[in-house]
Chains A and B, each alone.
Chain A
Amino acid sequence: MEILMAFVIGILFMTATYLMLSKSLLRIIVGTGLLSHGAHLLILTMGGLKRGAAPILGGNEEGYTDPLPQALILTAIVISFGVTAFFLVLAYRSYQELGTDNVEEMRGTEKDD
């Protein structure tokens, strides 16, 4: 299963990179979303998959899955959500102010001096 997940994560990273290299701001943000999915799944996979029950105490004999990666991912999800929300509003504001979503057109104005 881990090997399969490694390939799934690889494809998530690939598509995320490709989207981040595009010109449209919205696509770049979609790319970062995919990238964080890939990273979260990578943490989970590296912790080992499907070893025992969900990490809630309840008299399970076979043991539990590793709770630590899950705690780490939970933190990461919330942080990446905060950043994505900020980034999205930033994009929304730059649409309003600059009138474009093409990053190639977003260049600092050359100073004359």
Chain B
Amino acid sequence: MSFLHLAIVAPLILSIFIPLFYRIFRQIHAGWFVLPLPILLFVYFLTFLPETMSGKSFIEMINWIPSLEINFTAKVDGLGLLFSLLITGIGALVVLYSIYYLAKNKEKLNNFYVYLLLFMAAMLGVVLSDNLIVMYAFWELTSFSSFLLIGYWYERDKSRYGAQKSMLITVFGGLAMLGGIILLYIMTGTFSFTEIMSQANEIFNHALFVPALLCILLGAFTKSAQFPFYIWLPDAMEAPTPVSAYLHSATMVKAGIYLVARFTPVFGEHFLWFLLVTSVGILTLIWGSVFAVKQTDLKAILAFSTVSQLGLIMSLLGAGAAALHYEFLDENIYTVAVTAAIFHLINHATFKGSLFMAAGIVDHETGTRDIRKLGGIMHFMPITFTISIIGAFSMAGLPPFNGFLSKEMFFTAMVHVTEMDIYNLETWGILFPVLAWIASVFTFVYSMILVFKTFTGKHQPEKLDKKPHEAPMGLLISPIILVSLVIIFGLFPNLLSDSLISPAMASILPSLLGAGEEFKVHISFWHGPTIELFMTLGIIILGLVLYKTHFRWKKIYKGIPEKLALNRFYDFVLEGLQSVSYKLTNTYMNGSIRSYLVYIFAFLIVILAATLFGKNAFMFSTSNVSSIGVYEVALAILVVLGSICILFAKSRMTSIILLGAVGYTVSLFYVLFRAPDLALTQLVIETISVALFLVCFYHLPKLRKFETRMRFRLINALISVGVGAIVTLIALSAHSSKLFDSISKYYVENTYTEAAGKNMVNVILVDFRGFDTLFEITVLAIASLGIFGMIKLRLNRRKEG
């Protein structure tokens, strides 16, 4: 157990003690006990910086299930460290924010912080695990803790709906990912990611490569809310705002991004990877941005904007994977896509976190998040307004904030896609920058709506529950820190380039690096009249026009998007599945014993007949048969007649007597076939059975005493003829293909010498195979006790009095 492992599970350990602290220290907000941990962890992870900057990675392993190659291997490399810093850093800020956001006396704080710590540990585990099974375990723990957090206010219907939806979708993707991991294990024979990566070239043409790729991508797309799986994210906004800020903007939704980045060295060179990641990303980007404009709830706007920005990062990772096709570093212009992806990942975490917190403050201080009720609160909440405007401008991609830089790089990457000479991108590649540009225009519009509809315009005090006023300082600290980062990263982007971005790129594109090389990242070329600059200018101009005329064209939304909304489809599928399976189960589980017997017999016939003829097992030979005698034929006719007459017997008495007749004939068969003990037993037992049948017959209920013949049913007849035929056929083929002699010679020879008996059957029963007899006696004993109990025990009567 190293310090690194301890760091990963530290939140889990702390979560055990939180309820304890909560009970003992009633006066202190439980969040204060949580806060030191993420700060400590953040500092601890900072100490890894020098190591990853020099291109090294740090691995620690403890055994978990070594026989299955499942070990808790923790690995810190550039990518893992970047995510760990995000998780712990934003985690600390969110905990601080939540201390002021959630009231001490009204909320179930113990639950909240336990769930939050579970989530933090799970996220750290996902990004720092080198063993894929362990990563999967943490991955499901994130889904699970996110489910708990979304359903935090479980007394609300919408929370439960949102929690269930996110659970179903992310677990669906998680299971697909597990499938992908197992396929990778089949191909490479290891769960260790480092080893899988080193075998990437060997498995490239394996038949399971593409299925594994698709499974892994499915996991990433569901977790990162990509099209069409984004639908859970807007509903997850029912969670408390700190949760939305933490999980649904900065960390959990980026687990899918992490997965794609992590697996780029394995799958990146495949055409499908490039195509799916890039085009799904672009589609999500434009879809999310178009729908965000329509929303009227602050958090809903932010949710769709998160979806859209995640699509942007995803598309950049896809385009970055194309860099793997160009095996030289100096002139490789496509690596800029990866740089942009990582840079935007950081930027998005900062500005989206601050925007969520600002939205939470507005909600907290005015009582609503509806932009139709808000407006003109700029003067009441100047600090919140400043935070929001910086966050929103960064989101829209305006200088001098960090969003501007990453958006410029995004355009650079998208423009470069058109220059690729692979996959026919010279022709249809032009779609990428065009779609990206349109999406950015919408991004600009919703960012402006977010800020200006909330804070400027006419103040409507009559629609607000509370009198708006500035938030307490405690609530403001975290968003202020985040927006300062927005500005710092905007003005001094190269602060990050060597420390975080370059090592992370080295983890995503390791094959492009020779020994001792490192990526030279310089985010300083934002001067100069490049095409990207004009694209940004175009966005600002068109965006301003669209924003000003928003009230005119927003009616278009009323017609289109309702039909395109995928929520309806999801609800339809969910309800459909339920009702269809309910109906289906009711159709075949109808409660009638007869139909179940029909199924059982029908399957018996079909399976046996298929095997018999499918395997060419049917045989018929007369070489082994004995001669037919007159008495046997007579008995056979009697048995057949007797049993068939039962079918047509009208009275039950007749059928019982016929059954007795068949039984006695069978005992005569035993006489003819030289089985005296059997004949004796059969005679006695048949007599007792018939007597018992007559007892039952005598006690038939009075109400239905009139007796009817059995009604003919075609299905029953077919089934029973089938059963009879299949038994005959199997008996014939079994007898015709005798493979070896009986072992009974031993019994014949040793009955007297070994067991001192002359009756072989009896000696077998009590000596050679005495255990059978012992338990047969037990069966009889149990049956008699059962019968005694059934007759004597009348619990029901007693209860009724």
| A interface residues (Cβ-Cβ under 8 A, vs B) | 1-24, 26-27, 29-30, 33-34, 37-38, 40-42, 44-58, 63-68, 70-71, 73-75, 77-79, 81-86, 88-93, 95-97, 99-104, 107-108
Within 8 A of A (CB), among B525-581: none
Number of A-B contacts (CB under 8 A): 279
Contact of A30 among B639, B656, B787, B796 (CB under 8 A): B656
A92 touches B760 (CB 8 A): no
Q: Tell me the B residues contacting A by CB distance below 8 Å.
A: 591-594, 597-598, 601, 622, 624-629, 632-633, 636, 639-640, 643-644, 646-647, 652, 655-656, 659, 662-663, 666, 669-670, 673-678, 681-682, 685, 688-689, 692-693, 695-697, 699-701, 703-704, 710, 713, 716-717, 719-721, 723-725, 727-728, 731-732, 734-735, 742-744, 747-748, 751-752, 758-761, 764-765, 769, 772-773, 776, 779-780, 782-784, 786-787, 790-791, 796
25 examples of A-B residue contacts, CB within 8 angstroms: A2-B625, A7-B728, A11-B640, A21-B598, A26-B693, A27-B652, A30-B656, A30-B693, A34-B643, A37-B666, A40-B666, A51-B626, A55-B675, A57-B752, A65-B674, A70-B675, A71-B761, A74-B678, A74-B765, A77-B682, A77-B685, A78-B685, A79-B779, A85-B692, A101-B704
Give the distance in Å from the alpha carbon of A21 to the alpha carbon of B714 in the complex. 11
In the complex, the answer to whether B591 meets A107 with C-beta atoms within 8 Å is yes
A84 to B404, CA, bound (A): 85
**B643 lies within 8 A of A11 (CB):** yes
Residues of A within 8 A of B627 (CB): 1, 50
Q: Looking across the interface, which residue of chain B has its beta carbon closest to that of A107? A: B591
Select one of A6, A10, A30, A68 contacting B742, CB under 8 A.
A68
* B594 shortest CB reach to chain A, Å: 6
Q: Which residue of B has the minimal Cβ distance to A110?
A: B591
- Among A10, A15, A71, A79, point to the contact of B647 (Cβ < 8 A): A15
User: Would A88 and B779 count as touching, CB distance under 8 A?
Assistant: no
Q: Contact at A55–B761, with CB atoms within 8 Å?
A: yes
Q: Is the CB of A96 within 8 A of B699?
A: yes
Contact of B640 with A78 in the complex, beta carbons under 8 Å: no
Q: Which among A15, A42, A82 is the interface contact of B783 at CB below 8 angstroms?
A: A82
Q: How far apart are the CA atoms of A90 and B695 in the complex, in Å?
A: 12
Q: A65 with B643: in contact, given A18-B720, A21-B716, A107-B591 (CB under 8 Å)?
A: no
Residues of chain A lying within 8 A (CB to CB) of residue B764: 67-68, 71
B731 touches A75 (CB 8 A): no
* Given A37-B666, A68-B743, A71-B764, A6:B696 Cβ within 8 A: no
Contact A6 B783 (CB under 8 A): no
Q: Which residue of A lies closest to B703 (CB)?
A: A99
Secondary structure call for the B interface: helix
Identify 8 new A-B residue pairs, CB closer than 8 A, beyond the known A26-B693, A103-B594: A5-B636, A13-B727, A44-B678, A51-B626, A55-B760, A75-B773, A78-B685, A86-B787
| Chain A residue at minimum C-beta to C-beta distance from B716 | A21
Known contacts A65-B673, A82-B780, A99-B703, A3 near B761 by CB under 8 Å: no
Interfacial chain B residues near A15, Cβ < 8 Å: 643-644, 646-647, 720, 724
Identity of the chain A residue whose Cβ is nearest the Cβ of B636 in the assembled complex: A8
Chain B residues with CB under 8 A of A97? 796
> Is A48 a contact of B626 with CB atoms below 8 Å?
yes
Contact B695 A30 (CB under 8 A): no
Contact between chains at B692 and A88 (CB < 8 Å): yes
Instruction: Establish whether residues A83 and B744, one from each chain, have CB atoms under 8 Å apart when the complex forms.
Output: no
Chain B: which residue is nearest A51 at the CB level? B626
User: Given that A1-B625, A4-B636, A37-B666 are contacting pairs, would A10 and B759 also be in contact in the complex, using a CB cutoff of 8 Å?
Assistant: no
| Contact of B790 with A74 in the complex, beta carbons under 8 Å | no
Known contacts being A68-B747, A70-B675, is A75 close to B710, with CB within 8 Å?
no
Q: Which residue of A lies closest to B793 (CB)?
A: A93
**When A18-B716, A34-B659 are in contact, do A78 and B689 touch as well, CB less than 8 Å?**
no
Tell whether, in the assembled complex, residue B594 and residue A104 are in contact, meaning their CB atoms are under 8 Å apart. Answer: yes
Determine if B742 and A66 form an interchain contact, defined as CB atoms under 8 angstroms apart.
yes
Chain A residue nearest to B643 (CB atoms) is A15
Q: Is the CB of B724 within 8 A of A57?
A: no
A34, A63, A84: which has the most chain B beta carbons within 10 Å?
A: A34
